[in-house]
Structure 1
C-alpha cells in the first residue's frame, strides 16, 4: 500500500496544476499562483515520501515530470503569455477589470508577440526531458529547476496585486522586460550551471552551510518584502550556487 503514497502525491501536484491552468486562463492570477504553490508542495513531498518509504520507481520519476510539466511548465508559460498580452494594450489603473479580455484576439490585440511567453513551456519540457535521462543530477541540478522558475514567473502578478506600485507595475508590464525575462527563463532552465539542491544527507552545518544560509536569507527576505522577495531569492539561489561551485574548486 505504501508504494502508492508518493504517486498519489504526484497526482495531487498534477491536479493542482490543472486547476491553476483553469484559473490563469480566466485571468485569476492569484488563485492560479495558490494552486501552483500547492502543486510545488506536493512535488517536494512526493520525492521525500518515496525516499523515506524506500519505494522509488521509474514510474514515479516519469509521472513526476509529467505533473511538473503542467504545474511548473504550462502554467508559467500561459501567465507570461497573458502578461505580454497586457503590454499590447493601453495601461489602465484597473488592471484586474478583465471584462474586455474575453477572446484570444482581444488579449493579444492582434499581435503574435504574446506567444513568445509560451517558449517558457517549451523550455520547461526540454529541461524535464533532459533531467529524466541525466544520471548525474542526484545532489545538484543543472539549470534552474522548473518549480523555481514557475515561482519566478508567478511572482510578477502577485507583486502587482499585493505590492501595488506605479514604478514596479510599469517595469513588470514593460514588454521589453517581459521578453528579456522570457529569454532568460528559457536559458537558465537549460543552462549547464550546477545549482545546489535542498536535499540534506545529514543536518551537519558544515556540510550544509550554503543550504542553511540560503534558507535563512529566504525567510528574512519573505518577511521583509513579501512577494517581491521571490525574484531576489531566485537570483540569490543562482549566485550562491555559482559561488559555491567556485569555492569547491
Structure 2
C-alpha cells in the first residue's frame, strides 16, 4: 500500500482511471436526460471498463490506497447506481413516475449501502452480496435491450430492479472471479 500523499504519475494512474469512470457515469446521466438512452447505456459499459482497469493497474503496480478505495466506491455509486437507475427511470417509468421514483431510490440506496458494507468488511475471495458494478451493468444492458429490441413493461422492470437491489444487500457470498 502506498502513502496517499505520493503524487508520482504511476501512483495517480488508478485514481485518474477512476475519475474517467465518474466522467462516464455523469455523461450517461446527462445523455439520458436528453433521451439518448443507447449512448447512456454504452457510457455505463465504458465506465465498467475504466472501473476494471483502475483496480487492475492499482494491483499490478502495488499502488493501492485508502483514498483510491473510497474514490472507487464513490465512482461506483455514480456510474453503476445513479446512472443506470436514472436511465431506466427516464426510459421505462414515464407513465408510472411514482413507481419509477421508488425503484430508483431503492436501487441507488441499496447500492450505496452495499458499497459502504464492502468498504468496512475484509473478505478476500468472496463478495458479500452482488457488487453494484454487476447490478448497474445489468441495468445498462436492460437499457440497451429496450432501445434496440422491445420496451419491457414498467412492472417487470420494477421487479428486476427490486431483485437486483435485494441481491446487492443480501448476505450471500459470491466467489470472486
**Equivalent-residue separation in structure 1 for 2:24 and 2:88 (angstroms):** 19
* Aligned residue pair count: 168
Q: How does 1:210-221 map to 2 (within 5 A)?
A: none
Where does the alignment leave 5 or more consecutive residues of structure 1 unmatched? Answer: 89-107, 199-249
Match of 2:135 in 1: 149
Whose radius of gyration is greater, 1 or 2? Answer: 1
Over the aligned positions, Cα root-mean-square deviation in angstroms equals 1.5
Match of 1:179 in 2: 158
Confirm whether residue 58 of structure 1 aligns to residue 66 of structure 2. yes
Identify the residue that residue 127 of structure 1 maps to in structure 2.
114
Contact 1:84 1:113 in 2 (8 A): no
Residue 184 (structure 1) shift: 0.6
CA distance in 2, matches of 1:50, 1:180: 36
Whether the 8 Å CA contact 1:29–1:158 is kept in 2: the answer is yes
* Distance in 2 separating the partners of 1:197 and 1:26: 37
Q: Which residues of 2 match residues 217-232 of structure 1 at below 5 A?
A: none
Moved over 2 A (4+): none
TM-score computed with the length of structure 1 as normaliser: 0.64
- 2:127 counterpart SS class: strand
- TM-score of the pair, normalised by structure 2: 0.88
Greater RCO between the two (CA within 8 Å, min separation 6)?
2
Distance 1:115 1:146 in 2: 19
The residue number in structure 1 matching 2:98 is 112
User: 1:161, CA displacement in angstroms?
Assistant: 2.8
Aligned to 1:10: 18
Distance 2:53 2:80 in 1: 15
Match in the other structure for 1:139: 125
For the residue of structure 2 that corresponds to 1:112, the secondary structure is: helix
**2:22–2:75 contact (8 Å) kept in structure 1:** yes
8 Å Cα contact 1:80-1:117 kept in structure 2: no
